[in-house]
Structure 1
Amino acid sequence: MTETTNIPQIRFPQHGDRRVWLISSGDSPIGLSVARQVLAHGDCVVSGVVPSNIVRDENRRTYFEDFLAEVERDEDHGWKDRFRTFLLDIRKMGECQAAVAEAVNLFGRLDIVLCCTSQAIVGSVEELSASPRTLSLVRDQFETNYFGPVNIIKAALPQLRSQKGGHFLVLTGITAHLGTPGLGVYCASEWALEGFCDSIAYEVAPFNIKVSILQCSMEICILTNLISSVPPILPAYSASENNAPLFRNILDGLVSRLPQASVASESITSSETPATIAITSPNSNSENAEKLGPFSSLQEVVTMYAPFSAAHLEALTLETVHAITAIGGHENPPSRHIIGQEGVAAVKEKLKTVSEELEDFVQSSYSVNIHESTAEEEFNADIM
């Protein structure tokens, strides 16, 4: 007898009218899964897509084309009438404003903005400072992960304010809570975004606009989006010399075990890539490249999507999609929600460590009582 997995049913908050969603990365696995559930629920969707992302990876392109075919086939429920794609690079403010205008022109309003655009730059802080190329990747990281979501939020804000309601869903990860070796710049971009969202949430609350940060597990946002890894500085940051759990080493071990890893390696070698991205194939004749793994080229920046099948991506993102659909448009949503038991446990452990350190060094905080010292100085000044 085979064991069956109980998949919880997708839940949406209770609401009256049909809602309109704007998804910043509609060609991503999370964006596609959310769009499918939202359309099945009866809502409307405007999905932002970046053609270069689809062209870059065959699996991603097939996944997106299959979804478009699914929309075309669904004549009974009107998916085609309630779904639009829109060319959207959220790093460009003009395109963000145009996407918001498109949603309002098509469906009359905008209710929920899902910011799920992300990419990961892998490398130690020192490695990311090694050349003009790596420094440009750092800027790209912030343009995509921080300034991009800020742009789409700023573009949608006037519309939500004018209609006196709306909800921003911002997808980050527990890396915005936990520093991760080898992901310093990625973590910094997410911490910056969460600081922005925490602040703007207070500013827009009087307009009945909600802001929710959804922190998924580390692997969700990273393994479902573009990953770039810079050349390692050896032997200083090799596993034999540096016992820090560098994320590059974790990626190398994980991707090498995936069923489609060999196919991905061949596609990296043969596919056309932008001239600004130099790629070394994991299947090259370089003994070091093979030994170090697909993300550890000694000479070049390696850029690729993790070689997951559509079925793997569906399973990987299921928990996150459930959280998005359950919280999006909720009357009283959480300001921050950690998705998954592993993420909750990791954040709890971090908070426990912070609490213990606070107790260990509490005397250093109390060693000088500023209030009493100030009062004593003022008293002495008065009697002089």
Structure 2
Amino acid sequence: MDAVHSPNVVSVAGSESTGKPKLQLPPSCDPPAPGVPRKPLVWVVFGGTGHMGRSLVKAALSHGDYVTTVGRVHESTPESMIQDHENCLGTLCDVRQKDSVASVIQKTLTRFGRIDCIANCSGYGVIGACEDQDEHEIRNQFETNFMGTLHIIQCTLPYFRQQNGGRYLIFSSTSGALGVPGLGPYCATKYAVEGLVEAMLYEVDSFNVKATLVEPGLVRRDEPDHMTNPLPTWGHFLIKPASEPYSHASSPALHAKRMVQWLGDRQPTSAVKCAELVWQLGHCSYPPLRLLLGSYAIESIRDRLRSVTEELEDWKHLNFPVAPDAPGADRLDKDGKEDKEDKEGQGERDDRDEDRDEDMGDSVSPSQGDVQMKSEGT
């Protein structure tokens, strides 16, 4: 089916049928309102086989949008990506290869005629101490998480510029704002992605291209079929056995592993609810630079920012040496502080200036009085 010939406007599926209010982005974003006609979007969702990607694909299709869902070549098969939904195209891609990404974009344009929104949910991490992870594991995380994002942007940005519009929803993580023990290289890839997207936004603002970094916290799988689906609960992480120095039960290097175990027991943030908000993000008029999902994400990043602010306040009294050719540099010592002897000399000069001012005041006052008396006499 060609989306170009489909209806241009549909109604947003509201919450009236269930009677339960749905989560909404803040009004300042101008999100789509339930029941209000809107133009359907064409999405490309990379990482559509992961639990967050699957939920986003289902949310977009349920609202009448068109979706290309992209599976990873080393975990999916062409047969598994065959989609029954008429508005959905299933395909495979290795985001580490730029030509593979370009092929997905071309297939989407051929099927639907345009692209409005790119969501990158692909990526993975290795749980293990920084010292334990070998070069191959570290490089592959960067190739997938960072270079994959860069390939997606480079393959689609020329099209968005020509179209004078487009949107990127790049899934980062709380690990893009925090250093998580046991996830050092993974955190490094997400820090890199955050810097890339934030810098890119300045470059493409004049082309009406927008981007948001989606930072979910601990997100559980809660699709209707999650009990029977064989995919693991936390499938985008691989656990590396710890070496002896990092293997004791309370080791910080095992923090991420303990977090995964906690995830299965505590049932944190819902993937289905997150997907609904991300779908709204694709349709809102004023998307934020970052969207934090879940109380864990908000609280942990807020604590980290508070710590950074407090550290800045603790150390703000320090200064750096003044350049030798800067004004007043001749009065500073080698540590950049005002020279003691020069300061004392300045103090003596100030005292002499003050005495001279007093003398001048004594000599000036009578003449001012004389002028005043002459004026009164006149």
- TM value normalised by structure 2: 0.70
Given that 1:23 and 1:113 are in contact with CA atoms closer than 8 Å, whether structure 2 keeps it comes out as yes
Q: How has the CA–CA distance of structure 1 residues 181 and 5 changed in structure 2, closer, same or farther, with 3 Å as cutoff?
A: farther
- More off after superposition, 162-171 vs 88-97: 88-97
Flag the 1:146–1:335 CA change in 2: closer, same or farther, 3 A: same
- In the aligned structure 2, how far is the partner of 1:33 from the partner of 1:172? 16
Percentage identity across paired residues of the two chains: 25
Deviation, 1:342, is 2.2
The answer for unaligned runs of 5 or more in structure 1 is: 56-60, 73-78, 129-133, 259-311
**Secondary structure of residue in 1 paired with 2:246:** coil
- Structure 1 residues 334, 10: CA separation in 2 closer, same or farther (over 3 Å shift)? closer
Q: Is structure 2 residue 304 aligned with structure 1 residue 350?
A: yes
Name the residue aligned to 1:13.
32
Kept after mapping to 2: 8 A contact 1:175/1:218: no
Corresponding position: 1:226 with 2:236: yes
Highest Rg: 1 or 2? 2
Instruction: List aligned pairs for 1:90-109, cutoff 5 A.
Output: 90-109=95-114
Q: Is the 8 A contact 2:247 2:254 kept in 1?
A: no
In structure 2, the partner of 1:202 is 202
Task: Provide the residue aligned with 2:182 in structure 1.
Answer: 182
Q: Is the 8 A contact 1:216 1:343 kept in 2?
A: yes
SS in 1 for 2:283: coil
Unaligned runs of 5+ in 2: 1-17, 26-30, 222-231, 333-378
Describe the shift of the 1:41–1:148 C-alpha distance in structure 2 as closer, same or farther (beyond 3 A): same
Residues 349-358 or 369-378, more deviating: 369-378
Shift of residue 323, structure 1, vs aligned partner: 2.2
1:1-384 aligned within 5 A: 8=22, 13=32, 16-54=38-76, 72=84, 79-80=85-86, 82-128=87-133, 134-219=134-219, 224-234=234-244, 236-240=245-249, 242=251, 246-252=255-261, 316-364=270-318, 366=319, 368=320, 370=322, 374-377=326-329
Q: CA deviation at 1:168?
A: 0.4
Aligned equivalents of 1:349 and 1:203: distance in 2?
31
* One-letter amino acid of the structure 2 residue matched with residue 42 of structure 1: G
How high is the TM-score relative to the length of structure 1? 0.69
What is the number of equivalent residue pairs in this alignment? 296
User: How far 1:178 sits from its partner (Å)?
Assistant: 0.7
**In structure 1, what is the Cα distance between the partners aligned to 2:128 and 2:253?**
12
Distance 1:223 1:119, change over 3 A: farther
- 2:257 is matched by which residue type in structure 1? R
Distance 1:227 1:379, change over 3 A: closer
Q: What secondary structure does 1:375 align onto?
A: coil
The code of the aligned residue for 2:306 comes to K
Higher relative contact order (CA 8 A, sep 6+): 1
- Which string of whole-angstrom CA distances, capped at 9 and with x for unpartnered residues, describes residues 131-174 of structure 1? xxx32111111111111111111111111111100000001111
For the 8 Å contact 1:90–1:148, the answer to whether it is kept is: yes
Q: CA RMSD in A?
A: 3.2
What amino acid sits opposite 1:374 in the alignment? A
Name the CA distance, whole Å, in 2 between partners of 1:92 and 1:240. Answer: 39
CA pair 243-233 structure 1, distance change in 2 beyond 3 A? same
How far apart are the structure 2 equivalents of 1:250 and 1:371?
A: 49
